[in-house]
Amino acid sequence: MSFTATVGRREVPCGQDQPMLDAFLRAGVWMPNSCNQGTCGTCKVRVVDGAVDHRDSPADTLTDDERAAGLALACQARLRSNVVVETAGGAGRATHPLRDLAATVREIQDIARDTRRLRLGLSEPLAFHAGQYVELTVPGTGVRRQYSLVNTAEEDKVLELHVRLVPGGAATEQWIFAGLAVGEQVQVTGPLGDFFLPPADEDDGGPMVLIGGGTGLAPLIGLARTALSRDPAREIRLYHGVRGAADLYDLDLMAELADSCPGFTFLPVLSHEPESSTYRTGFPTDCFLEDVRSARGWSGWLCGPPPMVDAGVKAFKRRRMAPRMIHRENFTPAAT
Ligand code: FES
């Protein structure tokens, strides 16, 4: 039996075992979301009418008190009746629908230590915002893993992903870094996530600082290129934090952007090679604090491991960036 979920004036059908968030996004109805695996809390909704099954909602993301107060994680909850939910952050407006698409592997390239670039040709274009992510399904397992899109929204036929090897990882060590080959079919689900720029007519065009750790650079490339296409003179500082020089990649692309856009600065930072005479050393968030005395009026974009993202939020606030201007995409451990 299926039920309906309503937010604002939008009512969507929801299958018996379909997460509420999945139903809204597939219907093209926006609901705040980020991790899609129960760990971030971004998709928290208040169930004002009806009943849900919280399924695998973790207790540290959705506490007993919150459950008792009628809150639910939309990415985990299944409907047990028709429901009406409330949430903040523009829920109910139209968005690019979540879809499942077949893709063909066009290119696999080793670009840095334990890091691969994948290019996937889609069976049909996918609408998304630069900075969002897609999920790949590991064949024969049902396991899904999340990878940020490097593309701008116009590059909607061939998706580019940056993949870091995870020791023992079902998607990386056992698939993408093992048997996956050019020409093979891959299932792509997306777009997901709320890590993207406001529409051009709502973008204030202010300075931006972007900090990525490792392959956290991926969505920042799409964001920076999108912002620069709107205004090539925009001030953008992009810090790429990695352990060593062997982990850096796309330096040529960054140099091209810096050459053509006078306000763009790319700053690689090495955390584990203090003797480097070529690159800055330390942590990118500390380099930002050294470089920028006030970030009032700036927007901040963080993508990478949670400790780096947390340090970035603190650094941005120390430089007086407004909290609503801070955007974050945490690399969370894969759900089992
Ligand atoms: S907890 Fe649902 S999107 Fe993160």
Residue 57 near ligand 1, beta carbon < 6 Å: no
Judge whether 336 lies within some domain.
no
Quick check: 215 pLDDT over 60? yes
Instruction: Report how far ligand 1's centroid is from the alpha carbon of 24 (Å).
Output: 14
For residues 204 and 320, membership in a common domain is answered with yes
Q: What is the mean pLDDT of the chain?
A: 95
Average pLDDT value for residue range 197-212: 96
pLDDT tens across 285-319, in order? Answer: 999 999 999 999 999 999 999 999 999 999 999 99
Residues 167, 212, single domain; the answer is: no
- Which of these three, 192, 217, 242, is where a domain ends? 192
Q: Is the pLDDT of residue 1 over 90?
A: no
For residue 13, the CA-to-ligand 1 centroid distance in Å is 20
Q: Is residue 335 part of a domain?
A: no
Q: Indicate whether 241 belongs to any domain.
A: yes
List pLDDT tens digits, range 23-82.
999 999 999 999 999 999 999 999 999 999 999 999 999 999 999 999 999 999 999 999
236 membership: H or E segment, kind and range: strand 236-242
Report, in this order, helix, strand and coil percent for the chain, each rounded to 5. 20, 30, 45
Could you report the per-residue pLDDT of 66-96, keeping only the tens digit for each? 999 999 999 999 999 999 999 877 777 889 9
Last-in-domain residue among 60, 86, 112: 86
Q: Ligand 1 mean position to 34 CA, how many Å?
A: 6
CB of 35 closer than 6 angstroms to any ligand 1 atom: yes
- State yes or no: pLDDT of 243 exceeds 70: yes
For residues 12 and 52, membership in a common domain is answered with yes
Domain residues for the domain of 57 are 3-86
Count up the domains in the chain and report the number. Answer: 3
Residues 169 and 259 in one domain: no
| Residue 332: predicted pLDDT | 75
Tell me, what amino acid is at 194?
Answer: D
Which of residues 36, 53, 86 is at a domain's end? Answer: 86
| Mode of pairing for the β-strands spanning 3-7 and 71-73 | unpaired
pTM of the model: 0.95
